[in-house]
Amino acid sequence: MTVLTVTLNLALDVTYGVRRLRPGSMHRVAQPAQRAGGKGVNVARVLHALGEPVIVTGLSGGSTGRDIDADLEAAGIAADLVEIAAETRRTLTVMDGEAGEATLFNEPGPPVSEAEWNAFLARYETLAGEATVVVLSGSLPRGLPEDAYATLIRATTTPVILDADGRALRLGAAAGPRIVKPNAAELAAATGESDPRTGALKLGAGAVVVSRGSGGMTVYGESDWSAVPPRDVRGNATGAGDAAVAALARGLAAGSPWPDRLADAVALSAAAVAAPLAGDFDAGLYATLRAQVRAVPLP
């Protein structure tokens, strides 16, 4: 089993920890954390920590791109990135220690030329053909068409999980991925439907997993189930959805039934909130929650 994660809008994630975030004030920051990021990279980190074979691909450029290459190599995560001329973006997360909240600042993605996109498509077809599951996640950098994910899905015979929003989600879902994983707000924005079941059916994907933060997750489509964590977990929620996608990818590759797959996603997502950096999770909390979370069928 090998999972291929695709991050077209890679980032170098920088995380600052402060005792209390006060707008308009000066803050003293402890040693900042810096490492490769983007939603697909976070998925790959979680899978790697779980002992699952995973490969990262995407578009990477400039000195920031070289920092990303070095960080993935140091972490022991296999990567096959396509180089672009423009500089890869950075993101900044400020963790408020007292409030237990994260504030994010995301730079726009780099411009990507048509030639660079075509080079990626050629590399992707080879990598996807050798994978058990493909994960497409995150925003699209400038220069790529809005149906970029749809193009990748149509070029893939391997089961695909899509985690995107806006038109990229709507157009990608129409191309027939096995699973899509929006949160409730993303689903409503993409479909114009306030009812999640109606919106999920409107997307047209095989299964739609809707995340609701501390309210857990619900899957519609192939099977209708819901799972909720036994308690609220405070911390950095920026990588929680990516941890859920990692669990869904692992479960899809293993052929796990939906109740087990969804319960695992909820437990791993909550355990990720307890970790300070996106892409990590609290292993002890994950084991505890996994033994407690149960999926129940929807009426």
80-128 pLDDT, tens digit per residue, is 999 999 999 998 888 787 787 888 888 888 999 999 999 999 999 999 9
Please say if the pLDDT value at position 31 is more than 80. Answer: no
Q: How far apart are CA 172 and CA 81, in angstroms?
A: 22
Q: How far apart are CA 174 and CA 185, in angstroms?
A: 19
What are the structural domain ranges in the chain? 1-134
Helix, strand, coil % over all residues of the chain, rounded to 5: 40, 25, 35
Q: How far apart are CA 96 and CA 104, in angstroms?
A: 11
Q: Per-residue confidence at 258, pLDDT binned at 50, 70, 90?
A: very high
Q: Where does residue 165 rank: exposed (0-12), middle (13-18), buried (19+ CB within 10 A)?
A: middle
Beta strands 54-60 and 89-96: pairing type?
A: unpaired
The structure's pTM equals: 0.92
Q: Which residue has the tokens 């939603």?
A: 39
Q: How far apart are CA 35 and CA 41, in angstroms?
A: 10
Q: Per-residue confidence at 42, pLDDT binned at 50, 70, 90?
A: very high
Q: Where does residue 63 rank: exposed (0-12), middle (13-18), buried (19+ CB within 10 A)?
A: exposed
Q: Per-residue confidence at 282, pLDDT binned at 50, 70, 90?
A: very high
**Number of other residues whose CB lies within 10 A of the CB of residue 65:** 23
Element (H, E) at 192: none
Beta strands 11-18 and 89-96: pairing type?
A: parallel
pLDDT of the residue at 97: 78
Which CATH number applies to 1-134?
Answer: 3.40.1190.20
**Number of other residues whose CB lies within 10 A of the CB of residue 146:** 13
Please report how many Cα atoms fall inside a 13 Å half-sphere around the Cα of residue 132, on the Cβ side. Answer: 14
* Residue numbers annotated as active site: 242
130-177 pLDDT, tens digit per residue, is 999 999 999 999 999 999 999 999 999 999 999 999 999 999 999 999
Q: Per-residue confidence at 4, pLDDT binned at 50, 70, 90?
A: very high
Please say if the pLDDT value at position 1 is more than 90. Answer: no
pLDDT of the residue at 274: 94
Q: Where does residue 299 rank: exposed (0-12), middle (13-18), buried (19+ CB within 10 A)?
A: exposed
Element (H, E) at 15: strand 11-18
Please say if the pLDDT value at position 67 is more than 90. Answer: yes
